[in-house]
Structure 1
Amino acid sequence: MATVTAPRATLSAEERKVILGSSLGTVFEWYDFFIYGSVAAVIAKRFFSGVSPSYGFIFALLGFAAGFIVRPLGAVIFGRLGDLVGRKHTFLLTIAVMGTATFLTGVLPTYETVGVLAPVMLIVLRMVQGLAIGGEYGGAATYVAEHAPKERHLPTAMNRHTRGKRCSSNRTCCQSTCGKTLQRSRSSLLKICPA
């Protein structure tokens, strides 16, 4: 019995460019978060030297967290901007914002030079970086999805859980899917940690 395989779809030059650009942008933006986390001890000594080393390290990690806290706000701001002016322009803007904030973080004066203004500027720049990555991450995923071949992506995110089947109400399907997920999570937790 002979098997027939479907011809493999190749990516166009435009699709490859979109995927490469989105991937490089995401790598560039997450690289900064990786670097900050890796050198948090050094940042604690340079920017939080007015307190004990333990507190300085905790404050450096809180500065790391500041970038994550504002990510949803960045997704909202840059997501709306992407809807208005286009994903490509918004994507380039987020990369420029991230690059500028990263450069300014690299040339910040230390605590010994300007005092308490140094950690304040550091936290503000971390928050700007968080805004940029919040907008870039969702924007890049949306940009790639918009350039995917029509047969390879689903019409809406709400219908994703139906595996291609239509529901009479997206809300009903979403509620039943969420309910099933919560029920499975609860039963799994009860197996691990009996009451």
Structure 2
Amino acid sequence: MNDTTPNLVSIPVGDAVLEGDLRIPDGASGLVVFAHGSGSSRHSPRNNFVAEVIRDRGVGTLLFDLLTETEDEQYETRFDIPLLTGRLLGATEWLRGRDDTADLDCGYFGSSTGAAAALLAAADLGDEAGAVVSRGGRVDLAESRLGDVTAPTLFVVGGADEPVLRLNRDAFAELDCEKSLEVVAGAGHLFEGPGELDAVADLAADWFETHLG
């Protein structure tokens, strides 16, 4: 499969079947699983932009829907962090069962509530998780397990996203692993200003390129 051709996949996790887009560049050194935030999906334009930059560095990506269509219509389900974490772990297990992904180091890119699920999944996996990147993450929702994360972890936060920046600084202090906190000056929660999402993508791609494979 090449980078420009989506490989649409169906991922069975428990009683659910989740739709995803798996792309693996030739000679990939690793694979990043994306965990989107509440109200988003695998079609998130921001996550797809970041994923493209990551693939340009020779790292594969999986963007998938953490919830079924029915579940996504229920507001409370979008914030069910244990459910989202279980879906992320289930997708990771599914990847391990595929011939083309079984041997790739796996990392997580989480945004908003998805970042909490990414951190909790990494805490469960221990050394089997290769790296974690959080974009504007609600990392406080993983507070109880932050000390269990061993994967190299990068928090990227907008400088103007003051409430989330405070939460990230507090959570960052609880991490006991290789870690970095990058603040994109002037950026809000959605990184909508000129060059802001480019900065996120470059930081994430650098992190995964360094720590996966």
- The TM tier, using the shorter chain, reads under 0.3
Whose strand proportion is higher, 1 or 2?
A: 2
TM-score (norm 2): 0.25
Larger Rg: 1
Whose helix proportion is higher, 1 or 2?
A: 1
